[in-house]
Structures are given as C-alpha cells and as structure tokens.
Amino acid sequence: MKFRSKTWKVVLTIDEALEQFCDSKEDCDYCEIREPVQQYKGTKRPCYEYTRANPYEAARLMGYEVVEDDKVVEIDQVKKEETNMDKPRICDVLGVEVNENFKFNDFPFDECKVYFVGTDGEIINAKGGSVTGGELCYIINNPDRIIHKPRWTEQEVERAKAIKVLYPEADNLNECDPQIKVLNTKFVIATLDTALFPSLRPGESVKLDEIIGGTE
C-alpha cells in the first residue's frame, strides 16, 4: 500500500504520510485528524497509533490517495477508447454498460456511492460531486466489488407491493439464506422463502420502495 499526496508525491508508508502532513501544519488545534486521534489519547504516540490502525480513513483526512500494492493505474489510458468501438473499454474492465448505475460500499469510501460510465468513458458520480483519483484507482482495480443494481422482475415488484399491503410498516428486505427477512426500521416482522426474490443477492439488503419503483 502506498499513499499519494495532492502534489502527486508518493510515500511508501502511512508513517511517512503522517510525518509529511505534520510538517505542513503550524498548529495541532487546526489538524484534520485531531478529533479521531482523541480515541488513542493516553498511548505513547496517539497520532501514529490512529493512522496505523485506520490507514484508509487517515489518508483521506490528510488529503492522500491510496495506491494499492503497486497497482498504479494509468487512468487516462484506461478511459480512452478506440473511435470505432461501440462502448468505452472501461465498461469491459468494470463489467458495466454505458450509463448503468453501479455502487460501491467498501474501502476507501466512507459511505455507499453510486457511479456510472459516461459515453466518453469517464466514471461519474451519479449524485454529483467529483470522483477522486483514489476512488478511480480503487474502482478500476476492484471490479469484483462492484454492486450492480438488481433488475427486478414483474413478479418481484408485485410481491413487494403485496408485502407493503400486508405489512404497511415494512421498509426493506434482507437476504439471509435460506430466508429473506422483512424488516421495519428496527425489527424483523416476517420471513420469506428466498425463491420469492431470486434477484436479491446473498447478504444483500434493499428497500421495498426500490423494488416497487419498477422493472427494467
């Protein structure tokens, strides 16, 4: 694992990243990692303890991008496509179609994010905002961790509607093989056979309103 600063300087360890970061600061009171470091207060070197235990989060707060195991991806090269191709090459790399929404809920992301590939091959945040170099590297190097939006069948949509009629407080379904749990905001209120929602992936949780939203 390596860490790249905003000036594109690469350091080999999170310790080196922390040292560079600290050298750039005049006052610890205005440090971006000051609050999370407090949980390590009382240890001999709290800043180092925090960054070593939480390298992804610490790198993000300090303004570094994570470069995994020498997999330095040439982003511009991957994004480019031949003019006679039907879709950008990046779509083949990720296993998605142009304008197909896909999600990531994994490091280095602090929340679930939705992306799509534009017609020019650019990976775009579906909810607006910029996509960092660190995000691009992680997405391209980890296509197996992409969460594709399920394509619900008409039968699944009708079953979801029926659940909302029977259990008005029902909020989402959680696949827990061999059952699907029907939950409100806090508790399990019913269980179903997994065969009723074959599009639901193992361990996946989805809101009923998303299923009812329509078929593709």
Model pLDDT for residues 143-180, shown as the tens digit of each residue: 888 887 666 788 999 999 999 999 999 999 999 888 99
Which residues, in sequence order, are CB contacts of 88 under 8 Å at separation 6+?
A: 79, 81, 98, 117, 119, 120, 121
Q: Where are the domains of the chain?
A: 2-67, 75-148, 154-212
Look at residue 57 and tell me whether its pLDDT is greater than 50.
yes
- Whether pTM > 0.85 for this model: the answer is no
What percent of the chain is modeled with pLDDT above 90?
17
State mean pLDDT over 181-209.
88
- Beta carbons of 33 and 47 less than 8 angstroms apart: yes
Q: Given this model, what pLDDT does residue 43 score?
A: 82
pLDDT (0 to 100) of residue 6: 63
Question: How many CB atoms neighbour CB 43 within 10 A?
Answer: 12
pLDDT tens across 60-115, in order? 888 887 776 544 444 444 444 444 456 788 888 888 888 888 887 665 666 777 88
Closest CA to 180 of 208, 158, 153: 208
Nearest to 71 by CA among 131, 155, 157, 133: 133
How much is the pLDDT for 109?
62
pLDDT value at residue 185: 84
**C-alpha 141 chain-centroid distance:** 13
